[in-house]
Amino acid sequence: MQRTFLSASPEQTRQWARTLARHLQPPLIIALRGDLGAGKTLFTQALAAALGVTAVVTSPTFTLINEYDLPDGHTLYHVDCYRLGDAVTEAHALGLEELFDLGFVVIEWADRIDSLLPPERIDITFSDAGPQQRRICVLDTRPVGHDRLPVLSQECRQ
């Protein structure tokens, strides 16, 4: 199921991430897509805080994977595929697929490793929707019963 939300500010994007976090259960892959500056890291920071991360969440552009312990005992893995040369080969060599069943895995620049991603995930695409606005398109490919987008649509009405 796909839903589209509009964000008129960074704070609205943060609020949307906090709302989404209330409906997530691990293991879960969230594949983020969008140009530089589209809001992927901002979204991840707000999502992480809503899940209970108290550390400063930064983009793992050079470290590739940052790990954050959650209060419930799970882990949030924040992955950035932007700097990978042969992204699929390098992500596979890093063992990225081994993380998919462990906790929350948020992947920036996920389009660079599409062939490695499991079919059941949440895809989020950030795009420009005008001055200071972002369009956030969310596709939940998980089976019916796991899909929380109808609930989100009610909670995030613009």
Q: How far apart are CA 34 and CA 126, in angstroms?
A: 5
Q: What is the pTM of this model?
A: 0.87
Res 99: pLDDT = 84
CATH superfamily, domain 26-129, is P-loop containing nucleotide triphosphate hydrolases (3.40.50.300)
Per-residue pLDDT of the chain (158 residues; tens, 9 = 90+): 788 889 999 999 999 999 999 888 899 999 999 998 888 999 999 999 999 999 999 888 777 889 999 999 999 999 988 877 777 777 777 778 888 888 899 999 999 889 889 998 999 999 988 888 899 999 988 776 655 554 555 455 44
pLDDT of residue 144: 63
pLDDT confidence of residue 55: 93
What are the Cα distances from residue 92, in Å, to 59, 64, 111, 130?
A: 20, 13, 15, 37
Domain range summary for the chain, segments of one domain joined by +: 26-129
Residue 158: per-residue pLDDT:
41
Taking the mean position of all CA atoms in its chain, how far away is CA 41? 9
